[in-house]
Amino acid sequence: MAKERSTTRPAREKPGPDGRRASLAPRGLSASIYEELRERICLLRYPPGDVLRETELANEFGVSRTPVRQVLQRLEFEGFVETRNGVGTIVTGVDFKQFKDVYEFRLRLCELIGQLSARPSTDSDLAAMKSLHERAQKLHENRDTEEFWRINHERQGIVGSLTNNTALRQVYDLFYYQTSRVWFRLANEMWEDQVDALCAELSDIIRAMRSGDTQAIAYAERNHLCFYMVLIGRFISGQNTPE
């Protein structure tokens, strides 16, 4: 049964050009609202079964219902929500049975990152990855699941930017977000294993960046995706699937 829950959240704010705080909506309307709602779904702030209401979201972001409706349609196309007659727009559940298939596809996408219109990593990319590694190491002492997600999110963005093929990058991002709810949902149960794996992955990517080999970066990403798939698959098979 769909859960009745207010979708109103304090709008995330970022400094505007004049240094004052500004809500997300004026920055890009549909695009910024889409990114914010997708993040809330991936971080399980909107857990499966939540009802997302156009009017409440429009009021929160200070826009008409039209851009909100467009965002919800896009999220439905990507599998994050679904429309049910008489209920509204519902956050979809995490389908653990499809998890393996999507991860296997992501393995292939990683290989293509280093092959299609690939660009060499820059000093800026390397510095950003080192910073992520430092943040990841702190997770051993500070259990912060949202920081864990954000580090993965930023790592994904850096690796994805190594291809200039727009279509590949879009598909690469889409399937990342579709699977992120799975490992984020299991983060607490597998905390040490997942943090260890993240730190090792970042170390391997840093080494590959230092060598200047974009294909090596892509393979490092692929190898760790394979490890995650096995790790999470073993956990799921040994536990009752979360409701």
Domain spans in the chain, listed from the N-terminal domain onward: 13-91, 96-238
Q: What is the structure's pLDDT at 12?
A: 45
From the options 1.10.390.10, 1.10.10.10, 3.40.50.620, 1.10.375.10, give the CATH code of 13-91. 1.10.10.10
Q: What is the structure's pLDDT at 93?
A: 87
Residues 165, 79, 77: CA angle, nearest 5 degrees: 70
Q: With 0-12 CB in 10 A as exposed, 13-18 as middle and 19+ as buried, what is 88?
A: middle
Mean pLDDT by runs of 10 across the 243 residues of the chain is 48 37 53 94 93 95 94 94 91 80 87 91 97 97 94 94 94 90 84 93 96 93 87 72 44
Q: Say which residues have a Cβ less than 8 Å from residue 224's Cβ, sequence separation at least 6.
A: 197, 200, 201, 204
DSSP, collapsed to helix, strand or coil, labels residue 24 as coil
Query: Alpha-carbon distance 116 to 97, whole Å?
Result: 30
Q: Do domains 13-91 and 96-238 have the same CATH topology?
A: no
| Superfamily of domain covering 96-238 | GntR ligand-binding domain-like (1.20.120.530)
Q: Would you say 202 and 138 are in contact if contact means Cβ atoms under 8 Å apart? A: no
Q: Would you say 129 and 122 are in contact if contact means Cβ atoms under 8 Å apart? A: no
pTM for the structure as a whole: 0.79
